[in-house]
Amino acid sequence: MSDAAPELKLFVSPNSCARVPTIALEEIGLPFETELVSVMANQQNSPEYLKINPKGKVPVLLIEGAPLTENVAILSWLNATFPKAHLLPKPNSTIEAYYQTADLSFFSATVHPLVTRVAMPLKFIDDAELSFEIVRPKATKDMRVVMAMVNARLENGPWWYGDQWSVVDGYLFWVWSRITGIGFEQDDFPNIRAHCDLMNARPAVQRVLAREAMNVELLKSQGLYKAPH
Ligand SMILES: N[C@@H](CCC(=O)N[C@@H](CS)C(=O)NCC(=O)O)C(=O)O
């Protein structure tokens, strides 16, 4: 790769976890392209998309045309490639770098699967009534335990790493917006609510939300949008 900024294209879908690397890219502040995929219309499983990501998921980051998948890898790559953006605090030791990987993996591998159960319970049982009566309430209960832990961590906030904003905050913001958008009860989690207000005030986050709102309108006009419920 030359010294010039690499050509970047991110595959996104409104309300999805692709919001997290979009926030990272907006915080970096260099130009990047996005390509819209409607997860609501199952476009992530089209033959064309599966050639880019056989896992059938967003996000994918094309770096000079080569796909990088998985949020943890994408966010870690962006952090390493654009150190001036301070997407993660500079680690003071080798183990501190692994603590950061553990934090990103916690959101990717522990919290995100719970989000999927809360937000898309039909993925887990082929019975609409049971999915909303059993899968969602159970996952919501588990999510409340995890969010209580996150809320306690933010006592030393306002951010995940205290005074320093990081992409881990972007991850938490996506999780919180996604679950509260479908009615997750917020009252017991004042620190996360304050965190969300701070996130909403960041110019980069406002640009991300404006992009998503435009994408929602575009997908609606094509009959490819379904609001979260
Ligand atoms: N481990 C992946 C998870 C990606 C993922 O589950 N993306 C969801 C959107 S939030 C998706 O594409 N879902 C489509 C599907 O499961 O069919 C990552 O962190 O990038």
70 CA to middle of ligand 1, Å? 8
Cβ of 46 below 6 Å from ligand 1: no
Q: What are phi and psi of 37, to 5 degrees?
A: -125, 130
140 CA to middle of ligand 1, Å? 19
Q: How far apart are CA 43 and CA 200, in angstroms?
A: 29
57 CA to middle of ligand 1, Å? 4
14 CA to middle of ligand 1, Å? 12
pLDDT in tens, 103-117: 999 999 999 999 999
Q: How far apart are CA 96 and CA 102, in angstroms?
A: 10
Q: How far apart are CA 69 and CA 92, in angstroms?
A: 28
Question: What value does the mean pLDDT take over residues 9-19?
Answer: 98
Q: Which pLDDT belongs to residue 2?
A: 53
Question: What value does the mean pLDDT take over residues 189-209?
Answer: 98
Cβ of 58 below 6 Å from ligand 1: yes
The protein residue with its alpha carbon nearest to ligand 1, atom 16, reads 57
Confidence class of residue 24 from pLDDT cuts 50, 70 and 90? very high
Q: Which pLDDT belongs to residue 156?
A: 93
Cβ of 71 below 6 Å from ligand 1: yes
Ligand 1 atom with the shortest distance to the CA of 39: 14
Q: Residue 43 in 3-state DSSP? A: helix
Q: What are phi and psi of 45, to 5 degrees?
A: -110, 15
Q: Residue 14 in 3-state DSSP? A: coil
pLDDT in tens, 145-195: 999 999 999 999 999 999 999 999 999 999 999 999 999 999 999 999 999
Domains and CATH numbers, the chain: 8-86+204-221 (3.40.30.10), 94-202 (1.20.1050.10)
